[in-house]
Chain A
Amino acid sequence: MGLLGRFKGMFSYDISIDLGTANTLVYVRGEGIVLNEPSVVAIRQEGGPNSAKRIAAVGAEAKRMLGRTPGNIVAIRPMKDGVIADFTITEKMLQHFIRKVHENKFKAFKPSPRVLICVPCGATQVERRAIKESAAGAGAREVYLIEEPMAAAIGAGMPISEASGSMVLDIGGGTTEIAVLSLNGIVYSNSVRIGGDRFDEAIISYVRRNYGTLIGEATAERIKEEIGSAYPSAEVREIEVRGRNLAEGIPRSFTLNSNEILEALQEPLSGIVGAVKTALEQTPPELGADIAEHGMVLTGGGALLRDLDRLLMEETGLPVIIAEDPLTCVARGGGRALEMMDEHGGDIFAMN
């Protein structure tokens, strides 16, 4: 890294970033999660014919603008399906987040942290490189990549170093990662492009089909969070939402209940269940036995969907548990991985 880099490192710090489709989390080593914001960037087009575009807002502020922007502002989610959809904007967003973390620490120096970023295990080399370069462009001194399920398992506190199978299911905004880990390595991994976003889309299309009403993404997300569930339960919850009636063209208010949402979510959920079953099929029998004994662990925002563990339990017949604080598992695990790398050398985890 060179002497200069080492010197700069004395005034810098290590951060782990969970660059997710829905949320970006930044974990600073020794401090914990310092930033948790939606991966949304709002861009303002300045007046004039070929004028520059400017970042109007990033994160939570930009997310509030989603679907509510005037003509000269576009709110963009630069990540799609767990990978970069818009390279430049992602770089800007990362830059913003790194600077924001940095502002609270050493103001006198330009930020140049060591950065560990989690990538979906299904990411191609091109996508990995895009993420790496994006982080380097945002001012990272060194960039490491770690596969998301590995970070999730570390963050969830699973015994991945033992010669015993651990299965982790990380349901993020864009992708669902399934992996079987043993001895610090990934035995099987699969990534399906189903996640929280697909749940929202499923709700939107269900409402459109059955109510003839169009609702926005933010509303769909709210519905999912409040009454969404993955398994039928005795208790039926309701929510009142507003959307534009397609026939009348006028915003209307109507009520949805949890059973309807359960029905709406069937398709993406069956996709996840199918992926889990495939993973179990592909797992070597000894590791499968370990998983059957201890159970699989759910992490990621999708784990917060009510009774998802119940659904998986019924479908697979295995114990399913939800990790503590599932939203931050990946970022925490990445931070822990950085520490481990320093203590034991970079070859502990299969990284690239």
Chain B
Amino acid sequence: MTDVSEPNGVEAFAVAGGPGRHLREAREARHLTVAQVAAQLRLQSRIIEALEHDDYHNLPGSTFVQGYLRSYARLLGLAEDHLVGLAQLEGVTTPSLVSSIGAGGSDEASSRDLPFRIVSYLILLVVVVGLGWWLSQREPQSMGLSSPAVSTTGGEQGLLLPEEAPSLPVEVSLVAETVDAGEVETAPDESAPAEEAPAAEAEEAAVVAAPPVAAPQAAATVNSPDAPPTLTETMPQSRLELEYREKSWTEISDAAGRKLAYGLIPEGKRLTLRGEAPFRVFLGYADGVRVYYNGDLFDHTPFQNGDMARFRLGRAEHNRPLSR
């Protein structure tokens, strides 16, 4: 086998000028066979032959080729570095560190892949820009909406009127009753001493004069002239109505500091409160609440800060936002 390959090999050496020729000459000078060398170096004979023919393509890699050349040169007592320097290892494959399996892994979509990164950065950009746009649009939008809101609510009010129309006379007739109900419900025990007497009186009057409708009216009329001396201008108590389309946290106190409402009011509920005119109102979710002041829809959107609204409500000049 060696005899067959040698003639070709000799021609190859002349062209290549690699270390193979030196190795073979040195081996022959020492009367060693390829098999003997292979046994000493613990290598297969074909590797020794490949080294002597400067044919590194079937060998494991440059590291191993250099190592084999060194071992072989040492065995023959040749200069290792010189021989390794002669070897032309350019053609020899250096092992790549990415295995076929690793490459297969990289074929799979990875979050590190450039397209995915670009796409995710784009999405992020869009989200950020959109968020910025939304935030910038939000303020003007709510402002813009406020005027239509007024008009629509005006329309609604028109629609509501038939509903309220019957209630209005009733309310007028039952002023005392509603006052009582409001007072008893919202502030049963903290009512000012000045008001206590008329309230009790009114209650008595209402109880006593329950059957005849005229009596409460009389009581009311008796009441109203009674109160003004004590409460002067605020006596014509203001009426605050809150219509809950969404549930909202509500804190309302009147000018005297009485808490008229405090708590989470569920949606669908309608709250009617009476008290001294400038009310301090805090609505946790202002969008879901409509405020009527003395029967007129009050637009609280200018006082709105996010979902919340905090404002003072009374006569027009009193209306102003409240700080904490």
Contacts and interface: CB of A to CB of B under 8 A. Distances in A.
Contacts of B96: 161
Nearest to A161: B99
Interface residues of B, number: 26
A318 B42 contact: yes
Contact of A322 (B60, B70, B112): B70
A260 B99 CA distance: 47
A158 B63 contact: yes
A3 to B, nearest CB: 14
Contact of B99 (A163, A294, A309, A320): A163
A295 B112 contact: no
A148 B244 CA distance: 71
B94 to A, nearest CB: 6
Contacts of B102: 161, 183-184, 344, 348
Contact of B68 (A154, A156, A321): A321
B101 interface: yes
Interface string B54-97: 00000011111011101100000000000000000000001111
B61 A157 contact: yes
A160 B64 CA distance: 13
A321 B97 contact: no
Interface string A283-297: 000000000011101
Interface residues of A, number: 30
A154 B64 CA distance: 13
Contacts of B61: 157-159
A124 B60 CA distance: 34
A345 B117 CA distance: 14
A10 to B, nearest CB: 19
Interface in B17-67: 41-44, 60-64, 66-67
A162 B63 contact: no
A336 interface: yes
Contacts of A154: 97
A8 B66 CA distance: 41
A317 interface: yes
Contacts of B230: none
B95 A160 contact: yes
Contact of B43 (A183, A295, A345): A295
A324 B97 contact: no
Contacts of B106: 344
Interface in A191-211: none
Interface in A159-185: 159-163, 183-184
A344 B96 CA distance: 12
Nearest to B96: A161
- Most B CB atoms within 10 A — which of A157, A163, A184, A320? A157
B99 A183 contact: yes
B104 to A, nearest CB: 11
Contacts of A344: 98, 102, 106
B67 to A, nearest CB: 2
- Most A CB atoms within 10 A — which of B94, B95, B98, B112? B95
- Most B CB atoms within 10 A — which of A159, A162, A309? A159
Given A184-B102, A294-B60, A319-B43, A160 B97 contact: yes
B221 interface: no
Given A294-B64, A319-B68, A324-B66, A157 B112 contact: no
A26 interface: no
Given A154-B97, A161-B96, A161-B98, A297 B68 contact: no
8 A-B pairs with the lowest CB-CB distances in the bound complex, closest first? A321-B67, A159-B95, A161-B99, A157-B63, A319-B42, A294-B60, A319-B43, A161-B97
Interface of B: 41-44, 60-64, 66-68, 70-71, 94-102, 106, 110, 112
Given A184-B102, A340-B97, 15 more contacts: A154-B97, A157-B95, A161-B95, A161-B102, A162-B100, A183-B101, A183-B102, A295-B67, A297-B63, A313-B41, A320-B71, A321-B66, A321-B67, A322-B67, A323-B67
21 contacts: A157-B61, A160-B97, A161-B99, A163-B99, A183-B99, A183-B101, A293-B44, A295-B42, A295-B43, A295-B64, A295-B67, A297-B64, A319-B41, A319-B43, A319-B68, A320-B42, A320-B71, A321-B63, A344-B102, A345-B112, A348-B98
